[in-house]
């Protein structure tokens, strides 16, 4: 099956036939052949094609594609009446653009028909009709689907443009020659420039020498398809430095040729300040920690010295009691004493031994809630004195001593009635 000719090939053949008609107007048979071939070409075109008289606007020819849309009986009617449902010539008629001094030129334009509301790409040209007059030829290619795609694409692009313009980060597009071809509003704010001051110029305009070198290194990586984020410092219009993180993406065409890159640019000035403040605070805390450690060490030394002084004092007290008191008690025991005096002497000697021994201290520190009377009675119980003996020695009633015994048991945690109080007190020795 023969391949269908393209529109370009058809247009070329129409021009050839037009030239052939001009050369052979006097030859009837050749003219008829050329006319039939021209009509045959028009009929083979799937897109609507019509021919009209530029003066009367009468439709001289319409192919099957256009008849299928507007009816079979349109030949001889006015083109503006059939195609645009108007009472007079269209105010957008392109006849002036293809006749007169423009004869021989092709005018291509896009138009939305108000009758069917579809978009067409119109190809208009003045051609010579078989009867010798110059007529209007138009082929209308339906581009409704393309227009709808363009509209959807435009809306999509507009949404992305609004997104880019309202984002909190800077956004830049740089071409393969390092020329900045787009910068959003946020990037202009970061750099302190107006958009027309940084678009259309080298991206390195806002970089000092050191950062230019870094940009060149990164741009070379973009050409290789690499897209790693990197840090760089911009120089604002007012001379201030702006540390930033650049997140780039390379762009390649369908043939794999590098066409530039786009980047999201994050101003990290506040972050750098926060990090600096954090480092300073960390140094301050380290100094405070060192000072606390020194103070803690000094406190430990003081506490140790206090414990040593306390121990030394206790040893002196115990030594003095043993050396200065105990000998005299021993001598007093060898004197003539009655029973009561001797009992008191025994208690005194026992208490003195308790002071010297750990018992009193253990009892005091372990059970700080014992009263002085309870401490005294606890000492006598430990010595094996009975309630009656204690009552006699302290000149108290046995009932009072029993009450003290109960209180001592309670404070020592002896809830079990079978537990022996003296055994508990002896355990504190």
Of 165-179, 228-242, 326-340, 349-363, which range is least confident? 349-363
- Asked if residue 355 lies in contact with residue 326, where contact means CB atoms within 8 angstroms, the answer is no
Tell me the per-residue pLDDT of 239-292, one tens digit each, with 9 for 90 and over.
Answer: 999 999 999 999 998 889 999 998 999 998 887 777 777 888 888 888 888 888
**Partner residues linked to 78 by β-bridges:** 58
Q: CA 357, CA 181: separation in Å to the nearest integer?
A: 96
Instruction: Return the closest-CA partner of residue 200 out of 228, 226, 172.
Output: 172
DSSP H/E element including 49: strand 49-52
Mean pLDDT of the chain: 82
DSSP 8-state symbol, 168: S
| CA 159-161-163 angle, 5° bins | 70
- Asked if residue 62 lies in contact with residue 50, where contact means CB atoms within 8 angstroms, the answer is yes
Q: What are the two backbone dihedrals, phi and then psi, of residue 138, each rounded to the nearest 5 degrees?
A: -140, 135
Taking the CB of residue 125, how many other CB atoms lie within 10 A of it?
Answer: 22
Q: What is the pLDDT of residue 24?
A: 47
Q: What is the pLDDT of residue 75?
A: 92
The token duo for 186 is: 């946020």
Q: CA 367, CA 381: separation in Å to the nearest integer?
A: 16
387 vs 339, 383, 384, 400, 412, CA distance in Å?
18, 12, 10, 9, 18
Pairing of strands 134-142, 119-128: antiparallel
Confidence band of 25 (pLDDT split at 50, 70, 90): very low
Considering only residues 33 and 281, tell me which one the structure prediction assigns the higher pLDDT: 281
Instruction: Return the closest-CA partner of residue 390 out of 191, 424, 399, 125.
Output: 399
DSSP H/E element including 263: strand 258-267
Q: Give the percent of the chain with pLDDT over 70.
A: 81
- pTM attached to this predicted model: 0.39
Considering only residues 424 and 207, tell me which one the structure prediction assigns the higher pLDDT: 207
* 344 Cα distance to chain centroid: 88
Alpha helix stretches (DSSP H) within 209-334:
209-223, 269-320, 326-333
**Mean pLDDT along residues 6-14:** 62
**Mean pLDDT along residues 132-152:** 85
Q: What is the pLDDT of residue 144?
A: 86
**All domains of the chain in start order, with CATH:** 7-147 (3.30.450.20), 167-267 (3.30.450.20), 336-427 (1.10.10)
Instruction: Return the closest-CA partner of residue 387 out of 379, 377, 376.
Output: 377
The residues, any chain, with a CB within 8 Å of residue 390's CB and separated by 6 or more, are 377, 380, 381, 396, 401
The token duo for 212 is: 């230019």
- Asked if residue 88 lies in contact with residue 70, where contact means CB atoms within 8 angstroms, the answer is no
Q: CA 382, CA 370: separation in Å to the nearest integer?
A: 15
Q: CA 425, CA 382: separation in Å to the nearest integer?
A: 6
Of 7-16, 84-93, 267-276, 334-343, which range is least confident? 7-16
Indicate the SS3 state at residue 306. Answer: helix
Q: What is the pLDDT of residue 1?
A: 42
The token duo for 232 is: 């760089």
Instruction: Return the closest-CA partner of residue 187 out of 208, 207, 164.
Output: 164
| CA 154-159-165 angle, 5° bins | 120
Q: CA 67, CA 74: separation in Å to the nearest integer?
A: 7
| CA 404-406-407 angle, 5° bins | 65
In the chain, DSSP finds a helix count (H) and a strand count (E) of: 17, 10
284 vs 277, 360, 368, CA distance in Å?
10, 49, 44
Q: CA 173, CA 181: separation in Å to the nearest integer?
A: 6
């Amino acid at each position: 099956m023969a391949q269908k000719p393209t529109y370009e090939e058809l247009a070329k053949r129409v021009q050839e036939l037009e030239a052939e008609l001009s050369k052979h107007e006097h030859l009837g048979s050749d003219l008829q052949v050329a006319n039939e071939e021209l009509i045959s070409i028009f009929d083979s075109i799937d897109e609507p094609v019509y021919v009209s008289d530029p003066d009367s606007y009468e439709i001289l020819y319409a192919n099957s594609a256009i008849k299928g849309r507007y009816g079979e009986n349109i030949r001889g009617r006015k083109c503006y009446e059939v195609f645009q449902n108007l009472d007079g010539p269209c105010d957008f008629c392109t006849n002036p653009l293809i006749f007169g001094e423009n004869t021989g030129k092709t005018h291509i334009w896009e138009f939305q028909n108000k009758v069917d509301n579809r978009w067409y790409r119109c190809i208009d040209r003045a051609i010579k009709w078989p009867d010798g007059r110059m007529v209007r030829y138009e082929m209308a290619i339906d581009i409704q689907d393309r227009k709808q795609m363009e509209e959807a694409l435009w809306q999509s692009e507009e949404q992305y443009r609004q997104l880019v313009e309202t984002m909190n980060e800077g956004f830049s597009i740089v071409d393969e020659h390092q020329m900045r071809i787009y910068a959003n509003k946020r990037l202009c704010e970061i750099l302190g420039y107006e958009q027309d001051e940084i678009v259309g110029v080298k991206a390195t305009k806002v970089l000092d020498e050191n950062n230019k070198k870094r940009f060149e290194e990164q741009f070379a990586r973009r050409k290789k398809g690499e897209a790693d984020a990197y840090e760089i410092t911009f120089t604002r219009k007012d001379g201030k430095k702006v540390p930033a993180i650049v997140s780039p993406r390379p762009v390649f065409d369908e043939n794999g040729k590098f066409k530039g890159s786009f980047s999201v640019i994050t101003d990290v000035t506040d972050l750098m300040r926060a990090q600096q403040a954090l480092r300073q605070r960390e140094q301050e805390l380290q100094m405070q920690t060192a000072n606390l450690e020194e103070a803690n060490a000094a406190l430990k030394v003081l506490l140790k010295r206090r414990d040593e002084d306390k121990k030394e004092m206790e040893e002196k007290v115990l030594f003095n009691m043993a050396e200065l008191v105990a000998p005299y008690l021993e001598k007093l025991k060898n004197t003539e004493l009655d029973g009561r005096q001797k009992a008191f002497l025994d208690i005194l000697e026992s208490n003195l031994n308790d002071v010297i021994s750990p018992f009193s201290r253990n009892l005091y520190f372990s059970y700080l809630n014992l009263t002085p009377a309870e401490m005294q009675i606890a000492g006598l119980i430990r010595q094996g004195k009975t309630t009656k003996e204690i009552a006699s020695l302290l000149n108290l009633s046995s009932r009072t001593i029993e009450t003290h015994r109960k209180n001592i048991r309670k404070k020592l945690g002896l809830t079990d009635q079978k537990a022996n109080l003296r055994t508990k007190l002896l355990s504190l020795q």
